[in-house]
Structure 1
């Protein structure tokens, strides 16, 4: 059961925030197939529950966010004759995984402490915001293991960094510090480890002050239009924008401003 001590994932909801914890600290939160199956149920619930406005994804313990794929499990599957995976997770347990949940409308914050390697870094790249401790380390070491960053790392890093920088990290597996990731724009904030929870709370509070339908509309519009010609982006109908535009919240915001009071968001 999700949330049980023996589970690979802990899932809690507090107020309007869902907290998702990769829970295999003994193996630095390496992700096995069971974890992926549990995470699929979690992300389904995050999207379906309108009381949830923000999700925070992190790893158990203080050593690792996640070191990615459980390579011991992968080696056993190789011995059993299971075909090697490639880009994407279609047909595998837990599909669509977060890295392929292109329709997920809620913002997700990655809370990163320690190692974010391989699939762990790919998870962070798929999140909307990343808050990291100064002890965080990021890398995509797949090339050094005879693998590829199949959970989107090859695609997202080349979109989020200048191409030469991205290729340097992708082809060599070089590690980057939290400070380097911040300088290159891959994370939103870096703080000392003992201030990480406070920093994450600051971002969640800011997100919760925003109207939930506006947040979902903006996320959808940005993510769907990022590769569109600008003219096409302006003329594209976005589903969550249509809902926001005709919502009570679209009226409540200007009214609250005019009445000099805090808005009361309904999310409908």
Structure 2
């Protein structure tokens, strides 16, 4: 697959930032199998491109970040007998590994949530590292209402990222939450008026790019890996991206720039 052949996703590279847009606004950016295949290409390219340090993920239009799985496509596959029973994860399915299972992706991904993030759309946002939401955004895991399960990590991530009882209540009822409620629960980093969403995202992008890229990756990898470790074990663990940061040019550049009272010139190596 090539970038020119993408029909469900817009993928733009601007400096060190990859802009990834779910591009089916007429279907509330619902994710069909073709979109998952295209997203796999995008995330592979993002991870491999040394000039890309950060990704911003959003949905086209103002109606939805993503409504999740394309249920019309799913219903059609059920009718024609081509749909196999599914459970947690996407192994063996188009687009694997999807962002929700790219556990080794050390580059940060920021979600710009501009409307409804339901089902798989919410799961996609939960898999990102920073979430900036418009005050009109809404979040929900509605799978149980459909006889399904939040198998792209929603069951696991929501119960880890929000208080367990609160998370379970949303999972077994399908009840939505507002952007403000998501912020109160610590699921969202910032909520702003819809008109200010781009400015808020740009500010986060600038702040992240102002940090050394290898340090950012080392922080993300170590924080994720150590989250379930005893503290003593975490201190004793050698993390691959921290090894790279520790021996990098940027580890010397930061202190030099501080002493010389100038902005650091990060190399990412």
TM-score (norm 2): 0.97
Separation in structure 2 between the aligned mates of residue 22 and residue 111 of structure 1, nearest angstrom: 11
1:167 is the counterpart of 2:168: yes
Say how many residue pairs are matched. Answer: 268
Q: Where do residues 46-57 of structure 1 align in structure 2 (5 Å cutoff)?
A: 46-57=46-57
Instruction: For residues 107-131 of structure 1, give each alpha carbon's deviation from its aligned partner in whole angstroms, at most 9, with x where no partner exists.
Output: 0000001100000000000000000
Separation in structure 1 between the aligned mates of residue 195 and residue 3 of structure 2, nearest angstrom: 25
Q: CA RMSD in A?
A: 1.2
Separation in structure 2 between the aligned mates of residue 3 and residue 192 of structure 1, nearest angstrom: 33
Separation in structure 1 between the aligned mates of residue 148 and residue 211 of structure 2, nearest angstrom: 41
- Over 3 Å counting, the alpha-carbon distance change for 1:67 and 1:185 in structure 2 is same
Residue 27 of structure 2 corresponds to which residue in structure 1?
Answer: 27
Q: What SS does structure 2 have at the residue aligned with 1:111?
A: strand
Q: What SS does structure 2 have at the residue aligned with 1:19?
A: strand
Q: What SS does structure 1 have at the residue aligned with 2:267?
A: coil
Cα drift, residue 263 of structure 1: 0.9
Cα drift, residue 3 of structure 1: 5.5
| Preserved CA contact (<8 Å) 2:6 2:38 | no
| Preserved CA contact (<8 Å) 2:131 2:189 | yes
| Preserved CA contact (<8 Å) 1:2 1:38 | no
Separation in structure 2 between the aligned mates of residue 39 and residue 112 of structure 1, nearest angstrom: 17
Residue 76 of structure 2 corresponds to which residue in structure 1?
Answer: 76
- Over 3 Å counting, the alpha-carbon distance change for 1:102 and 1:231 in structure 2 is same
| Preserved CA contact (<8 Å) 1:2 1:10 | no
Instruction: Indicate the larger mover: 80-89 or 187-196.
Output: 80-89
TM-score (norm 1): 0.98
| Unaligned segments of structure 2, at least 5 residues | none
Q: What SS does structure 2 have at the residue aligned with 1:190?
A: strand
Separation in structure 1 between the aligned mates of residue 223 and residue 80 of structure 2, nearest angstrom: 43
Separation in structure 2 between the aligned mates of residue 112 and residue 2 of structure 1, nearest angstrom: 26
Cα drift, residue 78 of structure 1: 1.2
Residue 65 of structure 1 corresponds to which residue in structure 2?
Answer: 65
Cα drift, residue 79 of structure 1: 1.7
Cα drift, residue 256 of structure 1: 1.0
Runs (4+) off by over 4 Å: 1-6
Residue 221 of structure 1 corresponds to which residue in structure 2?
Answer: 222
Residue 42 of structure 1 corresponds to which residue in structure 2?
Answer: 42
Separation in structure 1 between the aligned mates of residue 64 and residue 3 of structure 2, nearest angstrom: 19
| Preserved CA contact (<8 Å) 2:163 2:185 | no
Separation in structure 1 between the aligned mates of residue 216 and residue 6 of structure 2, nearest angstrom: 34
| Unaligned segments of structure 1, at least 5 residues | none
Cα drift, residue 80 of structure 1: 2.5
Residue 93 of structure 1 corresponds to which residue in structure 2?
Answer: 94
| Preserved CA contact (<8 Å) 1:29 1:68 | yes
